[in-house]
Structure 1
Amino acid sequence: MGLAIGWTDAGIARLLLPGDTPADMRQRLGQAGGSEKHDGQPELAARIAAYSEGARDSFRDITLDLDGVPEMNRRIYRHIRELEWGETTTYGAIARWLGDVAMSRAVGAAMGANPIPLIVPCHRVLAADGRTGGFSSPRGVRAKMEMLALEKAASPNGQFSFGF
Structure 2
Amino acid sequence: MDTTISYPRPGHAVFETTLGFMALAWSDAGLTRACLPEKTAAAAERRLLRLAGESDAGRAVPAWIGALIADIRRYAEGEDVDFSAVPVDLAGVDEFRRDIYAAARCLGYGETTTYGGLAEKSGHKGLFRETGAALGANPVPLVIPCHRILAAGGKIGGFSATGGSATKERMLSLEGVRTGPPPSAQASFGF
TM (normalized to structure 1)?
0.86
C-alpha offsets along residues 28-70 of structure 1, whole Å, 9 cap, x if unaligned? 3223344389973222111100001111112011000011112
Alignment of 1:21-36 (within 5 A): 21-35=40-54
The one-character-per-residue Cα deviations of 1:119-145 (angstroms, maximum 9, x if unpaired) are 000000001211111111111111111
State the distance in 2 between where 1:159 and 1:111 align.
Answer: 26
Given that 2:100 and 2:119 are in contact with CA atoms closer than 8 Å, whether structure 1 keeps it comes out as: no
Matched, 1:8 2:32: no
Q: Secondary structure at the match of 1:138?
A: coil
8 Å CA contact 2:33–2:52 kept in 1: the answer is: no
SS in 2 for 1:18: strand
Alignment pair present for 1:100 and 2:121: no
- Counterpart residue number, 1:76: 100
TM-score (norm 2): 0.75
Partner of 2:170: 146
Identity value in percent: 42
Give the paired residue count: 158
> Contact (CA 8 Å) 2:82, 2:109: kept in 1 or not?
yes
Q: Give matches, 1:80-159, under 5 Å.
A: 80-97=104-121, 98-101=123-126, 103-153=127-177, 155=179, 159=182
The residue identity in structure 2 corresponding to 1:80 is A
Larger Rg: 2
Question: Following the alignment from structure 2 to structure 1, what is the Cα–Cα distance between the partners of residues 89 and 53?
Answer: 12
Of 69, 82, 85, 1:61 maps to 85
Conservation of the 8 A alpha-carbon contact between 1:16 and 1:137: yes
In angstroms, what is the RMSD of aligned CA positions? 2.3
Can you give the 5+ residue segments of structure 2 that lack an aligned partner in the other structure?
A: 1-15, 184-191
Write the letter of the residue equivalent to 1:15: A
Q: Structure 1: any 5+ residue segments left out of the alignment?
A: none
Name the counterpart of 1:18. Answer: 37
Structure (1/2) with the larger strand percentage: 2
Aligned match of 2:189: none
| Greater RCO structure (CA 8 Å; 6+ sep) | 1
Secondary structure at 2:173's aligned position in 1? helix
